[in-house]
């Protein structure tokens, strides 16, 4: 992933975090997909998103409910997605592209 795209994803995450309320699962799922995660239904009750780019990244369960998610649930999911951004930054730093 290139730095400009990573910066866009960071700003999307920041805008979601600033809202903190009324975050829909579709918004979090879209961000997860943009970070290279895929939906994997083979685990638990809720859809689980796994990273194909970083195989050691923890799977993230994003509830697939209509309406807004509870703010603490959304915040925890954002924290986990932010870890993907940190891994991309580390990868770019190792390549010397940042």
- Residues 32-63 have pLDDT tens digits of 999 999 998 776 778 899 999 998 999 999 99
| Beta carbons within 8 Å of 83's beta carbon, 6+ residues apart | 57, 58
**DSSP 3-state of 51:** strand
Q: How far apart are CA 35 and CA 12, in angstroms?
A: 11
User: What mean pLDDT comes out for the span 75-86?
Assistant: 96
Using an 8 Å Cβ cutoff, are 61 and 73 in contact? no
- Residues 10-19 have pLDDT tens digits of 999 999 999 8
pLDDT score recorded for residue 80: 96
Using an 8 Å Cβ cutoff, are 82 and 66 in contact? no
Which residue carries 């930054």 as its tokens? 89
- Residue 81 above 90 pLDDT? yes
69 pLDDT tier (thresholds 50, 70, 90): very high
């Amino acid at each position: 992933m290139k730095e400009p795209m990573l910066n866009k994803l960071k700003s999307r995450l920041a805008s979601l975090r600033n809202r903190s309320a009324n975050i829909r699962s579709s918004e979090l799922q879209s961000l997860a997909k943009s970070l290279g995660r895929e939906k994997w239904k083979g685990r638990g009750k809720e859809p689980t998103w796994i990273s194909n780019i970083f195989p050691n990244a923890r799977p993230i369960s994003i509830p697939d409910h209509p309406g807004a998610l509870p703010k603490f649930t959304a915040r925890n999911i954002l924290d986990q997605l932010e870890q993907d951004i940190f891994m991309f930054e580390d990868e770019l730093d190792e390549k010397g592209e940042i």
